[in-house]
Amino acid sequence: MPPPVERAAERRAPPRKRAAEQVRPAPPKRRARGVKVDEVSEVDDEAPVPPRPPELDWDDSPTGDAAAALARRWAARGEELSRMLAAHGAALHEHRADLKEGRFVWLAPSGRVSAEANARLLCSWSRATSVLAMAWAEPLLHDAGIGPIDGMPAEQDDIDEEGAWQTAMAAADACGAAYLYRVATPQAWYFLALDAPTFSPERDSFHPGAPVGLVLRAIAEVREAIASRAEPADVVRDRLCALGDSLFHQARYAYRETDWVARLDRTGTCLTHLAKRIPRVSFSAVAAGQRVDEWLERDLAVELLDALSLIEDEWSLFS
């Protein structure tokens, strides 16, 4: 199952977790890429690392007490959930989230639901733009998430992975969540508050909802970035690639054996081809006579916008 809270700052000491995706110390800063789509799931395993005590100053005063205590608290809860899952044989089971139903499940290899919990969206972090959005700022998911928290901004720019974890832990604390769970996709991280886990679910099957709404939103975000010229060409290319990869991922994972597989695959292929239309700065591009600028040329931008509009029209037929 996916990993917990990642690396804490140098003078803090949050522990690392295993199996179920909860709290782990955030890793070093890096810029991953992508935008959001519907189903969010990924499995990721890591060996457990024992917690370390906080470092002390020369006067023996603990440093970073609040942040370190927050990370330790959620790491402990993550360990508790991991033990519960292991005790019921579900520690390595795949997971799925249906935020519209507020349902988070673990699935046995047979497809039967082995465990279930109530789920609320806390926040999401875009790996392409480094923007963190709280649940109440999500147009399509705000009904499935927590309400506004005093003193916490609805959106934050230029947030790294560690900052995303810190915000998610603070939000989980504020809303009284039992457990914190990160669900990673190629384009974004979704932080969920899980409550009332049960190993005797009322429904032993799980069927993902239609991906139409969030796929349309993801495409609209890329189209807006192109039309506004708000992002350099390489960022737009990475957006298109990440969205295409995400659709392939969902077709093979959350939507496998459903009628959505072919449509997700076809759209992912189209987006990948569009990304290849944006030239990279390279010797071969220069030798081929391609004009490589930091920003998209107008004619290419128009071509991309027209192609994305056609994709939107196709998906809109199912909304």
Task: Please state the pTM of the whole predicted model.
Answer: 0.66
How high does pLDDT run on average in the chain? 80
**What phi and psi values does residue 44 have, to the nearest 5 degrees?**
-160, 120
Q: Compute the Cα dihedral for 129, 132, 136, 140 and give only its sign.
A: positive
Task: Convert 41-69 to b/e letters by CB count within 10 Å (16 or more is b).
Answer: bbeeeeeeeebeebeeeeeeebebeebbe
Per the CB < 8 A criterion, the answer to whether 211 and 258 are in contact is no
Query: Pick from 8, 10, 22: which is nearest to 184 by CA?
Result: 22
Residues 45 and 47: their CA atoms lie apart, in Å, by 7
| 281 pLDDT tier (thresholds 50, 70, 90) | low
Alpha helices in 44-158, H assignment, sequence order: 65-87
In this predicted model, what pLDDT tens digit does every residue of 129-153 receive, in sequence order? 889 999 999 877 778 899 999 999 9
Distance between terminal CA atoms of the chain?
Answer: 32
Amino acid at 168: A
Mean pLDDT across the stretch 263-274? 95
Mean pLDDT across the stretch 31-55? 39
Poorest-pLDDT segment among 34-48, 183-197, 245-259: 34-48
Compute CA distances 232 → 85, 236, 296, 301, whole Å: 44, 6, 7, 12
Kind and range of the H or E element at 234?
A: helix 233-252
Per the CB < 8 A criterion, the answer to whether 222 and 308 are in contact is yes
Residues 207 and 35: their CA atoms lie apart, in Å, by 23
Mean pLDDT across the stretch 277-284? 72
Bridge partners (DSSP) listed for residue 120: 193
Mean pLDDT across the stretch 66-78? 93
Poorest-pLDDT segment among 82-86, 151-155, 181-185: 181-185
Residues 142 and 157: their CA atoms lie apart, in Å, by 19
The pLDDT score that the predictor gives to residue 291 is 56
